[in-house]
Structure 1
Amino acid sequence: MSRPAGREPRRLTRWWRRRSLRTRLTVIAATAIAVSVFVAFQVASELMDWELRDTAEDQLRADSRVLAADAEHAGVAQVQLPPYPGSGRLVRVILPDGSTRTPVGQPALPPVSGHAWRVAQGASAALMESNDSDDDGYRIYTLRAGDGAVQVARVADDSPINRFGFGMLLIGLLCVVGGALVGRTVARAGLAPIDRLTAAAVRVAHTRVLDADIPDEGGGEIRRLIQSINDMLAALRDSRQAQRLLAEDAAHELKTPLTSLRLNVELLIRLDRRGTLDSALSAESRTRLLNDLGAQVAELSTLAAELTEVARGDVSDESTELLDLADVVVAAATRARSRVPDIEVALDVTSVWMSGRPAALQRAVLNLIDNAGKWSPADQPIQVRLRAEGASAVLEVDDAGPGIDAVDVPRVFDRFYRADSARALPGSGLGLSIVQRVVDAHAGRVTVARSARGGALLRIILPAAAPPARITRLTEGLDTVAR
């Protein structure tokens, strides 16, 4: 049963991919040297063959001229032929009647060819031809002499080429072996930094210790690779440190509401078991206790949601879309009013389009309004303004509270940071840090200033975008109708 034609190449490709880089470099070096030796052998063989052929032909011409001079002087029928030396040169005289003369004891040459016979008849002066019909081929030179012709021949000897080829084969094998060894050595030396890099990465994976940087050695690509891995380790260290700090801060922030909640619940359970719940607590005390429990649960829920939001970092499944920031601000203000009915929000917004994540932006605006609601007096509304300034969308949340102290401004967006004056108020210290993260994710910036009413003025500046084409056409149509 025959195998598919493409299976063997795929198998060879899989085998090659499973080899180590060191083995690949060794095989490539040995193959390159083998190909170079083969090409050099072919070129050298051709050059040597041409040189030997030219030398033999020049010798045949010189010998034939000497023999032709003797034949013209004595006649082709009476010229004295040199005795056969036992090897090497062979001679023959072609007479006018077509017969030939050869020295005694000389091996027979191939029959006179038609071209050589025409030279003897005077059709041309000379002819160089080769005869490879026998096991030993001949190279024969025919030269017109008197009323006939003389021929000088030599056996076409390939032994020098064969000896040269054998020598080149041995040299090639030695070069391939040497190339493999050199390639192996070069690969080992060149990949030594990668081996050390691999060992360091394995050590980090086993020990989970990210503090030790990999030594920066080598140059070029190796150095850039080591620097990239060191940067990655530094990023992992920062991430682990941020996770540790987040866990510690979360545990610290959860401790107080959980402790208070546990004490209140234990008090209710203890009184209920004694059967003195109704007599020990008045209706007012029970109401106050239940309200405290509800507030603590709400605080825990808010803290858990904000911790989840912070832990997610910049990872979000929400896609970016073209949106009207005014719709986001109005939705956030509506949610703020529903969560705290006593809060009053005064909106002054204009349509500003941008590219962003609507849910994240709404959360950021809601956090700003919630933060302002903690400080603004009950009779003073929170002013929320949205306008376009050039290529930016500017959102301002203005409250009439005491404002933010100058010492607290640099840290107001830090996680879990709460000013001394805010520790008695509900909150986790994560709201403004979430605002900062959302604004950073949208390539914007957030600032803190003092408002004209004496309170805090938090300003968000985001890059605006052109409105959709249908909105532009509708606006132009309304302007036309108005005119």
Structure 2
Amino acid sequence: MSEPAAPAGTVAATGPGADGPAPRWHYRRSLASRITLLTTIAVGVAVAFVALGAFITTRVQLQSSLDSSLLERAQQAATQATLANSVRADIPPWALGAGDIRIAFIDLDHNPPVLSADSADDPKISLGDEELAVALRSTAYSLRTVETEAERFRVVAVPAGQDRQALVLAQSLEPQERVLAKLGFVSILFGVAGIITAGMAGWAVATNGLRPVRRLTGAVETIARTERLEPIAVEGDDEVARLATAFNQMLLALDHSRARQRQLVADAGHELRTPLTSLRTNIELLGQADGGGADLPPGAREELLDDVAAQIEELSQLVGDLVELARDEPLPTVVEALDLAEAVDHAVERVRRRAPSVAFEVEATPWVVRGEAGTLERAVTNLLDNAAKWSPPGGTVRVSLADGVLTVDDEGPGIAEQDLPHVFDRFYRSEESRAMPGSGLGLSIVAQAAERHAGRVHAERSPYGGARLVLALPGGPAPLA
């Protein structure tokens, strides 16, 4: 059963199960905008916490100051001997030094108390159990907030006069609330101004701070467009400078890789030119003979055909060597355990058929190497082919394998001192070898195989008068787990 199609206008969701992970929203924004946004958010949160802390601290301090002042005034007024008569005679509060508050005198032997009002429109404040508890001497004083329909009051009660009597003072909280309202407005105003300023400063810092990054980006884009691997100018010693230095190292590696590729192509073209020219000449001669244009001497046709076959084989080997050396990284291969002694025996059998005039003395002990079997066998074969090529007819090639060190000695003319450092270079051929068949790539493949298998290879003079080539590979005498 097919799934219903998505409605028109909708966008298919992306995720790990779709074409790829969904891009995060903040990666769609520029780095400068992200820095500005994060700076603004950080400053906004900081300003909010500071403003909230200042508001709460101011409110607590105002409340504490008001409570202390109100309690002190109530205690001082309670010590007046004529307090009860003054309140009952409706003497104005300012006459008692309390012109900004309401006053009531609780006498439980009379009617229930109500705080006095300055006018008929002012709200009446009914007292509660807290004040009655003070009149009964149950508590030393009471202090609480009373809300009416119009406003809020802070009410304090202290013992006064005789038993069952108390003095009550109430002060409006409206002045305090006006102060707090103004403080909140000012905090919000300055907070918004601070956030805007922080955003502008963040944008300026991000813009100026990312200027080296933009220059580096422009330089890299120019290199990608023009393909000129010129070093990038490094300024300072900060993280951007380190990034520019890393780019320069990468450019240097790319330049060396490009140079090696160009050298490989140039050397390959030079090496291919000779066999191709000779092959074309021989084929043209055969074509002229078959067309009746010229008569070949007896046996010349067979000689030309043998020469063409040898040149094709040499050309095939050269192309194979070039493909092998052109691989910067090894292709996916099967890594397995290989007994190097068996590889030496197989290589000796192959080379012995190609060079029947050369004798081989082999002394090999088992040594198991973990790697690519084909590459290792070809490296061993190239070492033996090189020794057989340089050995004179009737000469002996001595092959020794002990503890992972393969030593091949021949009885040829040896290697000159000036040629020893270049024996394993690509297409390098000494003066004596230029007239001999070969492409100059065989020993290069040996060096490449040794490098891929964490081994080493070197050349030296042999005590038997010729050359000695040594290949050392890590492994063990027993099969690897």
TM > 0.5 fold call: yes
Q: TM-score, normalised by structure 1?
A: 0.88
Quote the offset at 1:71 in angstroms.
5.3
Partner residue, 2:113 = 99
Partner residue, 1:432 = 443
Report 1:104-253 matches (<5 A).
104-105=118-119, 107-132=122-147, 134-147=149-162, 148-157=165-174, 158-210=177-229, 212-253=230-271
Which is worse superposed, 346-355 or 166-175? 346-355
Aligned counterparts of 2:45 and 2:130: Cα–Cα separation in 1: 43
Report 1:317-356 matches (<5 A).
317-356=332-371
CA 101–267 in structure 1, closer or farther in 2 if over 3 Å, else same: closer
What amino acid sits opposite 2:440 in the alignment? Answer: G
CA 282–127 in structure 1, closer or farther in 2 if over 3 Å, else same: same
Aligned counterparts of 2:161 and 2:98: Cα–Cα separation in 1: 28
Aligned counterparts of 1:246 and 1:299: Cα–Cα separation in 2: 18
Partner residue, 1:35 = 45
Structure 2 contact 123–150 (Cα < 8 Å) conserved: no
Provide the secondary structure at the position in 1 that maps to 2:416: coil
Aligned counterparts of 1:296 and 1:407: Cα–Cα separation in 2: 30
Which is worse superposed, 303-312 or 135-144? 135-144
Aligned counterparts of 1:24 and 1:165: Cα–Cα separation in 2: 30
Give the fraction of aligned pairs with identical amino acids, expressed as a percent.
Answer: 37
What amino acid sits opposite 1:290 in the alignment? Answer: L
CA 135–352 in structure 1, closer or farther in 2 if over 3 Å, else same: farther
Q: Which digits, 9 at most, give the CA deviation of each residue in 1:185-204, with x for residues without a partner?
A: 11122212211111111101
**Number of residues of Structure 1 aligned to a counterpart in Structure 2:** 456
Partner residue, 1:289 = 304
Q: Unaligned 5+ residue runs, structure 2?
A: 1-12
Q: Unaligned 5+ residue runs, structure 1?
A: 1-6, 471-483
Equivalent in 44, 63, 73 of residue 54 of structure 2 = 44
What amino acid sits opposite 2:389 in the alignment? Answer: K
Equivalent in 363, 387, 408 of residue 378 of structure 2 = 363
Partner residue, 1:476 = none
| 2:411 is the counterpart of 1:397 | no
Partner residue, 2:7 = none
What amino acid sits opposite 2:459 in the alignment? Answer: V
Report 1:376-415 matches (<5 A).
376-388=391-403, 393-415=404-426
Q: TM-score, normalised by structure 2?
A: 0.88
Structure 1 contact 128–139 (Cα < 8 Å) conserved: yes
Aligned counterparts of 1:177 and 1:218: Cα–Cα separation in 2: 32
Which is worse superposed, 175-184 or 61-70? 61-70
Equivalent in 442, 453, 465 of residue 453 of structure 2 = 442
CA 451–13 in structure 1, closer or farther in 2 if over 3 Å, else same: closer
CA 282–53 in structure 1, closer or farther in 2 if over 3 Å, else same: same
Structure 1 contact 216–227 (Cα < 8 Å) conserved: yes
Quote the offset at 1:294 in angstroms.
0.9
Partner residue, 1:480 = none
Aligned counterparts of 2:390 and 2:468: Cα–Cα separation in 1: 12
More helix by proportion, 1 or 2?
1
Partner residue, 2:25 = 15
Quote the offset at 1:228 in angstroms.
1.2
Structure 2 contact 337–480 (Cα < 8 Å) conserved: no
CA 177–215 in structure 1, closer or farther in 2 if over 3 Å, else same: same
Quote the offset at 1:86 in angstroms.
12
CA 88–364 in structure 1, closer or farther in 2 if over 3 Å, else same: farther
Equivalent in 420, 425, 428 of residue 431 of structure 2 = 420
What amino acid sits opposite 1:59 in the alignment? Answer: S
Aligned counterparts of 2:83 and 2:281: Cα–Cα separation in 1: 143
What amino acid sits opposite 1:154 in the alignment? Answer: Q
Aligned counterparts of 2:100 and 2:88: Cα–Cα separation in 1: 24
| 2:463 is the counterpart of 1:452 | yes
Partner residue, 2:101 = 89
CA 13–261 in structure 1, closer or farther in 2 if over 3 Å, else same: closer
Partner residue, 2:324 = 309
Provide the secondary structure at the position in 2 that maps to 1:407: helix
Which is worse superposed, 220-229 or 241-250? 220-229
Structure 1 contact 376–400 (Cα < 8 Å) conserved: yes
